[in-house]
Structure 1
Amino acid sequence: MKLVVDVRWDSEASVWYAVSRDKTGLATENESLDGLRQRILAVLPDLLDLDDAAELDVELVVHDISTASNPLAAE
């Protein structure tokens, strides 16, 4: 089974949040991207009622906007 999760940064709350694209109901947040990944993997087995032998591939699609300084603009 594969689950695709959209991950975004909320600058007002200063947290990363995740929402699954399907109807699993996954919605969680954390201050760090690594912490969010761990949180997602921790809650999914209970959320999806998976047994210990079940395998689940989780694809995190991170949506982030970064601004880079132009080193040539200072010249």
Structure 2
Amino acid sequence: MDLKTQILALTIPIYFCLGRYDFNCPATLVADYYESLMAPVKELIWFEESAHLPCWEEPQTFNVLLIEKLKPERHSETLK
């Protein structure tokens, strides 16, 4: 699968959560795709104490991130 050729743009916000110690999905691949992807809001978010599963390895940090990033009022103007 080559996301750079299959999904060039999104009309929704997108967040990439990367574990600093993830060896299953190399960060260089994600960063390369991130740079080429067009989206109204996009962000690369590093989890410094995680590998492949930040939601389980840093659950409190991950949950706070979800609440912060997914608040309805955060993107209401961006998506109009």
TM-score, normalised to structure 1, is 0.32
Q: Is the strand fraction higher in 1 or 2?
A: 1
Q: Is the helix fraction higher in 1 or 2?
A: 2
